Amino acid sequence: MSTAAFEVAATASDVLNVIAAFAGGLLIAGALVWAVWLGMRVRDREPPRPRSEEQPHLPDTGPVRETREMREPDEIHQTERERLLPHELHHSGSKRGDDQHRKRWLPGSSGGFGSGGIGHV
């Protein structure tokens, strides 16, 4: 084949590549337009948003307060098997502690975990 034949073949494939890219772009753009149209139809079928008087409000007694309690680890009993099954576990990994007084740092200690020093005096 001559050089001119290679140029014609290369040009023909470039044109086909451009046409394929354009067709692919049109396909993607059409799919996006269809998806937006479908989303608008679905949204139109949804119930309306609640009005302000339908929104939740505070109870008459006021806001609900937190309860604070000291927890301690829940001991897991030993079994003959090497692992526990899900129905043998509790819903929480801790239980309410017997001593409900907050632990405080000693005076004179820095309070930093693992510091080991006496802190500022």
pLDDT in tens, 39-55: 999 999 999 988 988 98
Q: What is the pTM of this model?
A: 0.38
Task: Say if CB 59 and CB 39 are below 8 A apart.
Answer: no
- Looking up tokens 């949204």 gives 43
Average pLDDT (60-88) is: 78
Which pLDDT belongs to residue 87?
Answer: 78
Look at residue 22 in the predicted model and tell me its pLDDT. Answer: 93
Residue with tokens 């080991």: 116
Residue among 105, 100, 104 nearest 68 (CA): 100
Query: Which range is least confidently modeled, 54-58, 82-86, 96-100, 105-109?
Result: 105-109
**pLDDT at 64 (0 to 100):** 81
Across the range 29-46, mean pLDDT stands at: 97
